[in-house]
């Protein structure tokens, strides 16, 4: 067998490993139409549906953006959304996919995509609020053009860890230190929320680079409205949702596997450009969770 054909086989094997793994982890078998799990929360005249309501477009212009949210609240789960971000000049434009408790002492888990001028990288900011305390921003530059194609963004939330994924690459891990009582961990039922809005006052270069409204409307696209989550009452803690009868609470989701750990380290080293843990001005003493590997 020649060198080239062996290389080809190796590449095929690598791809198959990657994709078979991604199928197992997303575990979405049905193509839920939008209305099965979600409803429009605001800006309904700026929302269009495609592909038998399996794709949604949100638009932002100078007067408004738009958003949608899940019909249910969840107390644990493995949440995902396929997103294609606004293209061309998207400075100041924020596309958000997050979980939010809305009521009571606030818990929230955020993916926020901060748009940028053409040719400059779109930055993905993540944050964790637990028991009303946030300020845990991290920023990652994406290693692909998120405006060119749909990519998966996923949030695993179980009794051991919260993991933020870009496709199948973990970019952030937030561990549950609840037993020690020293670090907050989300404990309230949360809604899945998606929105597109004007963040000109903060999102790009700290607010110095604003949306260019001659480029509006800005448009983001969303697919995959399946939800793997434990439905729970919005007014109460997530009782029963950490049961191992849910697949995302089972032992193989309690920590990253070796492949994920390698990917996670690589991403942090190469693509993370801000971490609250190392922001000495804000936190002269890094918060306790920052000592996690
Ligand atoms: C996928 O979800 C089903 C329940 O809907 C569960 O039984 C199965 O174990 C899950 N598969 C994986 C790989 O997690
Ligand atoms: C805004 O967009 C218009 C139209 O493309 C362009 O002429 C102008 O230079 C842009 N402004 C900024 C500040 O980039």
Integer angstrom CA distances of residue 100 from 95, 108, 189, 192: 15, 4, 8, 7
Per-residue pLDDT, averaged over 125-151, amounts to 97
Q: Which two tokens stand for residue 204?
A: 């790009």
Determine the distance separating the centroid of ligand 2 and the alpha carbon of 47, expressed in angstroms: 25
Q: Is the CB of 23 under 6 A from ligand 1?
A: no
Nearest ligand 1 atom, CA 24? 13
Q: Is the dihedral of CA 186, 194, 120, 260 positive or negative?
A: positive
- State yes or no: pLDDT of 22 exceeds 50: no
- State yes or no: pLDDT of 236 exceeds 90: no
**Ligand lying nearest the CA atom of residue 26:** 1
Nearest ligand 1 atom, CA 25? 13
pLDDT at 82 (0 to 100)? 97
pLDDT tier, 104 (very low <50, low <70, confident <90, very high otherwise): confident
Q: Is the CB of 212 under 6 A from ligand 2?
A: yes
Integer angstrom CA distances of residue 274 from 161, 220, 256, 268: 21, 25, 22, 10
Tell me which residue has its CA closest to atom 1 in ligand 2: 212
Q: Where are the domains of the chain?
A: 3-291
Report the range of poorest mean pLDDT among 1-10, 48-57, 71-80, 206-215. Answer: 1-10
Determine the distance separating the centroid of ligand 1 and the alpha carbon of 236, expressed in angstroms: 26
How confident is the model over 24-39, as pLDDT tens digits?
334 455 789 999 999 9
Ligand 2 binding pocket mutation candidate from 209, 212, 218 (most atoms within 8 A of CB): 212
- Name which residue leads in pLDDT, 26 or 76: 76
Which CATH architecture best describes the domain 3-291? Sandwich (2.60)
Tell me which residue has its CA closest to atom 3 in ligand 2: 214
């Amino acid at each position: 067998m020649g060198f080239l054909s062996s290389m080809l086989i190796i590449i095929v094997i690598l791809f198959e490993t990657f994709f078979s793994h991604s199928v197992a982890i997303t575990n979405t078998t049905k193509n839920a139409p939008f209305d099965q799990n979600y409803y429009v929360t605001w800006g309904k005249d700026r929302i269009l549906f495609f592909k038998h309501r399996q794709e949604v477009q949100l638009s932002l212009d100078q007067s408004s953006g738009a958003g949608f949210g899940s019909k249910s609240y969840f107390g644990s789960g493995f949440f995902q959304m396929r997103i294609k971000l606004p293209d061309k000049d998207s400075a100041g434009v924020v596309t958000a996919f997050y979980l939010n408790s809305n009521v009571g002492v606030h818990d929230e888990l955020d993916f926020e995509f901060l748009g940028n001028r053409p040719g400059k990288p779109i930055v993905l900011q993540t944050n964790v609020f637990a028991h009303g305390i946030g300020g845990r921003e991290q920023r990652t530059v994406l290693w692909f053009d998120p405006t060119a194609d749909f990519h998966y963004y996923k949030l695993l939330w179980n009794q051991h860890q919260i993991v933020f994924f870009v496709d199948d690459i973990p970019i952030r891990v937030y561990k549950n230190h609840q037993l020690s009582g020293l670090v907050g961990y989300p404990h309230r039922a949360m809604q899945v929320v998606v929105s597109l809005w004007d963040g000109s006052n903060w999102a790009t270069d700290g607010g110095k680079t604003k949306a260019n409204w001659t480029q509006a409307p800005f448009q983001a696209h969303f697919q995959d409205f399946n939800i793997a989550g434990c439905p729970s009452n919005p007014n109460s803690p997530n009782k029963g949702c950490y049961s191992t009868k849910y697949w995302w609470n089972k032992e193989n989701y309690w920590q990253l596997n070796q492949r994920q750990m390698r990917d996670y380290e690589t991403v942090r080293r190469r693509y993370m450009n801000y971490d609250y843990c190392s922001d000495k001005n804000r936190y002269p003493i890094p918060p306790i969770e920052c000592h996690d590997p």
